Structure 1
Amino acid sequence: MTAQVEPGRFTAASDRTDITVFLIGMRANHWWRVGSVMRTASRMAPMLKHLMQHPDAGLLGFHQWLGRTTVLLSYWESPEHLQRFASDRDAPHLAAWREFVRRSQGSGDVGVWHETYQVPFADLEVVYNDMPPFGLAAATTRVPVGAGSRTARQRLGR
């Protein structure tokens, strides 16, 4: 299902002082090794389902793109929330990571990667033109661009 496009210009607003941005993905290095690729790729859906069912885990929102290299862009309450989820024995990440290390790491079949950014909210600049709810504005609060937020410089608070 495609989200409804909302005409106009929007930005994100929040009462938080900072936001944790987490990018994670995988790359099918040997795409013809379908078993390894699918085994690794299939582990993300249970993690996202778990996080959506447990809002206290700290995931605020996410978007995912699939292809030979997949990308999941996610927003978290804090790095501590993210790290707590990653190491939680009752959550689906730790077992999946251990399985990947045991079965796939070093084979070259599948690459995995992640990047974590802790960003002061005042140092962010976002704008969405004629878009459905997306990105940081979908994970926090989406507000129309207006007085004091019409330019990138204003949105950065400078």
Structure 2
Amino acid sequence: MAKVIPGRQTARIEGPFVVFIIGTRVNKWYAVHKWLPVLRSMGPMIQELYSNKELGFLDASVSLTGRGVSLVQYWRSYDQLEQYARGGEHHLKAWKTFNRKLRAGNAVGIYHETYLVENGAHESIYVNMPPTGLGRASELHPVGAGGETSRQRAGLGGAGQGEPSADLPPS
């Protein structure tokens, strides 16, 4: 279990990056033979990514939903994400299998969303948390002067119209 870092931290990552969210949804619970292979295909892909950091993958977190699994992934660039999607050994196999065997049915669904953070602007806060999300994919730093508000941490300056001068009382 990751160690809790006391106090307020924010994530710092230089340059552009990509947030990629991918997940599955079980639509027909009784069709285990359809959705279980989809769920099982995620593990080898994640192992492949963690074993090959040169692919541009930074980190991922997994969440169980009411009907499936979602992963939030952080990537160094869109080009690297796309290159893995089209050429990663485990992804290509899973993608072809899904399209050939499962796409036409509706026992299991998949989705993904891709967010490009081109200018590097982002905002985060972690209070009494272990490294999580972008904070695990990048570096954590204590919140300091000039970073008290969400707007300031996003690099948008000032406290913001109608925004309190700080998200939380100082730690």
TM-score per shorter chain, which class?
over 0.9
Q: Which amino acid aligns with 2:123?
A: E
- Per the alignment, residue 101 of structure 1 pairs with 99
Counterpart secondary structure, 2:146: coil
Q: Distance in 1 between matches of 2:5 and 2:40?
A: 32
Alignment gaps of 5+ in structure 1: none
Aligned residues: 155
8 Å CA contact 1:122, 1:157 repeated in 2? no
- Per the alignment, residue 120 of structure 1 pairs with 118
Cα RMSD for the two superposed structures: 1.2
- Per the alignment, residue 84 of structure 1 pairs with 83
The residue correspondences of 1:119-138 to structure 2 (distance < 5 A) are: 119-120=117-118, 122-138=120-136
Counterpart secondary structure, 2:106: coil
Counterpart secondary structure, 2:104: coil
Moved over 3 A (4+): none
- Per the alignment, residue 150 of structure 1 pairs with 148
Q: Distance in 1 between matches of 2:22 and 2:54?
A: 20
Q: Residues 4-41 of structure 1: CA distance to partner in whole angstroms, max 9, x if unpaired?
A: 2221111011222x110100000000012111111110
2:13 pairs with 1:14? yes
Please give the TM-score of this superposition, normalised by the length of structure 1: 0.93
Counterpart secondary structure, 1:43: helix
User: Displacement of 1:137 after TM fit?
Assistant: 1.3
Q: Distance in 1 between matches of 2:11 and 2:120?
A: 11
2:19 pairs with 1:37? no
User: Displacement of 1:56 after TM fit?
Assistant: 0.5
**Rg larger in 1 or in 2?**
2
Q: Which amino acid aligns with 1:125?
A: E
8 Å CA contact 2:11, 2:134 repeated in 1? yes
Q: Residues 91-126 of structure 1: CA distance to partner in whole angstroms, max 9, x if unpaired?
A: 210111010111111210000000101013543111
Q: Distance in 1 between matches of 2:63 and 2:119?
A: 25
**Percent of aligned positions with the same letter in both sequences?**
39
8 Å CA contact 1:60, 1:75 repeated in 2? yes
Alignment gaps of 5+ in structure 2: 157-171
